[in-house]
Chains A and B, each alone.
Chain A
Amino acid sequence: MNTVNVTVNLTMALTIGGLYAVGFYLLLQRSLMRIIIGIVIVGHAANMFLQLAGGPPGRSPIVGVSPAEEMTDPLPQAMALTAIVITFALTTFLLALAYRSSVLLGHDEVRDDVEDRRIRRQQQRVDEREEPDEPGADRKFEFGTDNDKEATR
C-alpha cells in the first residue's frame, strides 16, 4: 500500500475542522434536535476526513481504464460509504426517538442527570432547613430518600 502523500488540501482541512467545531458545539446544546443535527454534522466531518485520508484525488480506480499510479485509493471511499450508511440509519433512529420523546414529554429538552437532580434537591432541603450549625442536621439527608421515579425504580 502506498504511504499517503503528505500534502493536504488546505480548503478540505479547514472545512473538516469547521464541521467538527460546529458539530461538537451543537452536541453540547440542550435541545434534542440540535444534538441530532450536531451528530449529523460530526458524521459528515468524519466521513470527509476519511476521504481526505485517502490522499489527493486521482483517476477512477478501474483496472484497464486508468494506470495504477494515477488511481485514487478506493479503500477510504468504500469505508466512507459504509460509515455514511451506518450514520444515516442511526440518524433515522435518533429522529424516531426524538419524536417519541416529544410525544411523551411534550418537549425535546434533554433533562438533567439523575444524580445532578438529586444533589440539587438535597441542596434545596438544606436551604429550607437553614440550620446548618446544628450538629447532625445533615444526617437526615441520606441518599435515596426522595421519591424520584428514576432513582427509586
Chain B
Amino acid sequence: MTMLVALPILLPLLAAGLSLVLGRFATLQRLLGVVVFTANAVLAVVLLAEADKSGPVVLQLGGWDAPVGITLVADRLSALLMLISMVVMLAVLVYSIGQRITDYGRSTSSTAFHPMYLVLGAGVSMAYLTGDLFNLFVAFEIMLGASYVLITRRTTATRVRAGMTYTIVSLTSSLLFITMIALVYAATGTVNLADLSGKVEALPVGVQSAMALMMIVVFGIKSAMVPLHFWLPDSYPTAPAPVTAVFAGLLTKVGVYALIRTQTLVFDHGESWTLLLWFSVITMIIGALGAIAQNDLNRLLSFLLVSHIGYMLFGLALYDVTGLAGAILYVVHHITVQATLFLVSGLLTRHTGTVALRGMGGLAKLYPAIALLFAIPALNLAGIPPFSGFVAKLALLEAGAEVGTTMAYVATGAAVLTSFLTLYAMAKVWVFAFWGKSKPPHPDPDPTDELIIGTGSTSRTMVSATSALVVFGVLIAVFAGPLSEISTRAATDLLDGGPYRTAVLGEEAE
C-alpha cells in the first residue's frame, strides 16, 4: 500500500519522458496522457479511501527514516485535493486534445505540450504528497518549471511580456522560499514538516513569527493573495484556454494547500488569526472590485479567481474545525468551477474572436448550449443555493459566526458582500455577452500564433470535456454531505496533527 504513494509522482514523470520520445506518434502521445491522468485519479481514490480508513499513508523514500530522508504522506486532505486536481487535469487534457485536433488535424503532434503537461501533473501531485519543506520547494519548481514552458510556448510579443512577468515573480518567490527554508533549518535543524511541528513550539516567539510571515509571503505570492496578486491577472489571460484553465484551477490552490498545511501542522495559532483575516478581507473585496472593472472576459475571471482565494484564506484564518473544513470544501469546489469557467471562455472566444465583453452579444440565442455551460458554473461560483459554491460558502459563513469575534464578523460580512459582487460581475458578463444584439465574429487578430480564435469551430470533444467538468461541479454539490464529512475529518486531523506526526515519525515521537 505504501508504495502507491510514490506512483502519482513517478507515473507522470516517467510518462513525460516517454511522451517526449513518442513525439511523432500523435495519437499514442495523447492516449498516454489520458491514461496517466486517469490512473492518477484512480490512485487518488485508493489513497483517499485508505487514508480515511486507517490514517495517513506514509512512504519513506530511499530507506532513510523520517527527519533525515524524504517523506511522502497521503492524508485525507492531500488525497482529496489530488483526486479533484487529477480529474480536472484529465478533463482539461481532453479539451486541449480536442482543440488541437480541430485546429490542426489528427496527425499533427505537439512536441512540448504533452510532456510538459505531464510534468506539471507530477509537480502538483508531489506538492500535495510531500511531507518535507524542501521537497515542497522542489515540487513547486517542477510544477512552475512546466508552467513557464506552457505559458510562453509559441510566443508572441504579448505572451513574452506576460510570461516574463509570471516567470520573474514566481522565481522571486521561489528564491524567498529557499531563504525561508534556510531560516527554518538554521532555527530548528530540520525541514521535515512533522518534525518541525514539535520543534517550532520551543523557539522564541519572534523567530516563530518571522517563519510564519515568510511562509505567508512565499505561499501568498503563489496563491495570489492581495497585495501579492498583481502578476496573476496580467499573465494568465494571455495563454491558450486549456493552459489558463489548468493554471487557474490548480496552481493557486496548490499555494493555498501549502499555506493550510504549514500553518496548521507547523504552527499552533490556537485561535483565529487577525492578520490573515485582514488579508482575506482585502483579497475578497479587491479581487471582486477588480473583476467588475474589466472588459476582458479572461481578465475578469482572473480577478474573480484572486477574489475567491480570499474565501480559502478566511477559512484558514478562523483556525477552527468548521472554518478549515469550509476552506477545504471551498478549495475542492473552486478548483473545478474556475477551470470550467476558463474552458467555457475558451469555447466562447472561438465563436466571437475576441474576449472583450463589448465585442460580444446575443450569444444566448446563437449558442444556447454554451450559454448553459457558462450559466451553471457562473451561478455556482457566485454561490446560488443548489450548487457547491453555496455549500462551501455556507460552511465558511457558519464558521465565521461561530468564532464570533469582531474581526470574524467583519470577514463574514466581506464574504457575503463578495458573493454579491461576484454575482454582479457574472451578471455583467451575461448581459454583455449573452443578451443583446448579436455581433459578427471578429477575425483572429494574429492568425500566426497558436491561439486560434474566431473560427467558430468547436469540436464535440471540447464541448463534452467542458460539459463533463460542469457536471462534475454539480456532482460536488450532490455529494456535499459525504464531502463535508470528510473535510471535517480532514480539518480535525489538521488541527490535531497527532496522527500525522505519529504516521511520519513513528510511535515514540508522540
Contacts and interface: CB of A to CB of B under 8 A. Distances in A.
Interface residues of A, number: 49
Contacts of A101: 157, 160-161, 164
Given A46-B182, A50-B178, A104 B157 contact: yes
A105 B186 CA distance: 45
The secondary structure that dominates the A interface is: helix
**What range describes how many residues of B lie at the interface?**
35 or more
The secondary structure that dominates the B interface is: helix
A47 B178 contact: yes
Nearest to B238: A150
A58 B182 CA distance: 19
Interface in A14-64: 27, 32, 35, 39, 42-43, 45-47, 49-50, 52-54
A8 B292 CA distance: 52
B294 A144 contact: yes
A115 B174 CA distance: 26
Given A101-B160, A149-B158, A87 B179 contact: no
B156 A90 contact: no
A102 B33 CA distance: 34
Interface in B59-88: 67-68
A45 B175 CA distance: 9
Contact of A113 (B174, B189, B234): B234
B109 interface: no
Q: Residue among B67, B152, B168, B186 with the most chain A CB within 10 A?
A: B186
A38 to B, nearest CB: 9
Contacts of B145: 86, 89-90, 93
A110 interface: yes
Q: Residue among A45, A53, A145 with the most chain B CB within 10 A?
A: A53
B164 A50 contact: no
B409 interface: no
A9 B46 CA distance: 50
Nearest to A2: B189
A11 interface: no
B409 to A, nearest CB: 32
A113 B148 CA distance: 19
A152 B186 contact: no
B364 interface: no
Contact of A105 (B157, B163, B171): B157
Interface in B149-194: 149, 152, 155-158, 160-165, 167-168, 171-172, 174-176, 178-179, 181-183, 185-191
Nearest to A27: B172
A53 B183 contact: yes
Interface of B: 67-68, 134, 137-138, 141, 145, 148-149, 152, 155-158, 160-165, 167-168, 171-172, 174-176, 178-179, 181-183, 185-191, 230, 233-234, 238, 293-296, 299, 354-359, 445
